[in-house]
Amino acid sequence: MNRLAITTRELDISRHVALASQYQTGIELQVYGYNPDLLDGDWRSLVASHREALRGFTGEIALHGAFYDMNSASADSRITALTVERYRASLRVAAELGARHTVFHANYLPFIQHPSYLPEWTRKQVAFWDALTEEARRLGLIIALENMWEPEPDIIAAVLEEVNSPHLRACLDIGHVYLYSNSLPFPDWLKRLGNWVVHVHANNHRGHYDEHLPLDVEGGAVDYSAVLPLLSELPSPPLVSLEMEHTEDLERSLRYLGR
């Protein structure tokens, strides 16, 4: 697996940049998504410090955009306007940092069972992302739409197919598939979304909540010895981000992958 990255939610990314350089991986910066208050503060100073930390870094760079409480299919125009504002800010940060991929969530709500919900949600998502991908195109970025609570891949795939832009692709979160899918096997997810997948989040959990554990953790719900060969068969190799909160877990997973 040639295209690997490690994730970090830290303000000070120097330790993770050093780790990524040591193992010759890329890096995905997640602090701008996990700490949305940054986007209301002096984010340019933080971007400047991150650019300095990344000076001379040769690996791929990605960014996880804002996602807490975001609703890109809201019936309330003011909520949608806030989501647009946050997502555009995330795209600006990604461009400033030289990132290629910016990961966003669509935030589908599976507990809403009304028959009109999914068609209306899809219509609004298509309109939302169709407009935002124009911003991504202008900035030279690719938006990677991540599955979160979606119980089946068709939900994200339908949006991608309707927008049909090279600047809107998929981020396949493997842990989320094994946690929130309606018993649909992972190979079926990959078959449906494979042509769209440019980014992957890889971690493990024990089947109860999104723990972001090492790939080879004991009792893990995901058997990566079966998953990794399937990823290698994708038509284009995605950037696989190891999404774990502790550097020792990242290093353990890198060793598991033979780095």
Q: What is the predicted pLDDT for the residue at 33?
A: 96
H or E element that contains 72: none
Give residue 247's identity as a one-letter amino acid code. Answer: T
Three-state DSSP at 24 gives coil
Residue of 196, 11, 193, 228 lying closest to 101 (CA atoms)? 196
Answer whether 66's CB lies under 8 Å from 87's CB: yes
Fold for 4-256, please state it: TIM Barrel (3.20.20)
Answer whether 152's CB lies under 8 Å from 112's CB: no
Q: What percent of the chain is modeled with pLDDT above 70?
A: 100
Q: What is the predicted pLDDT for the residue at 25?
A: 98
Per-10-residue mean pLDDT for the chain, 259 residues long?
93 98 98 94 95 98 96 95 97 98 96 96 97 97 97 97 98 98 93 96 97 98 97 95 97 96
**CA 77-79-85 angle, 5° bins:** 100
Q: What is the predicted pLDDT for the residue at 208?
A: 95
Answer whether 171's CB lies under 8 Å from 106's CB: no
Distance CA 96, CA 104 (A): 17
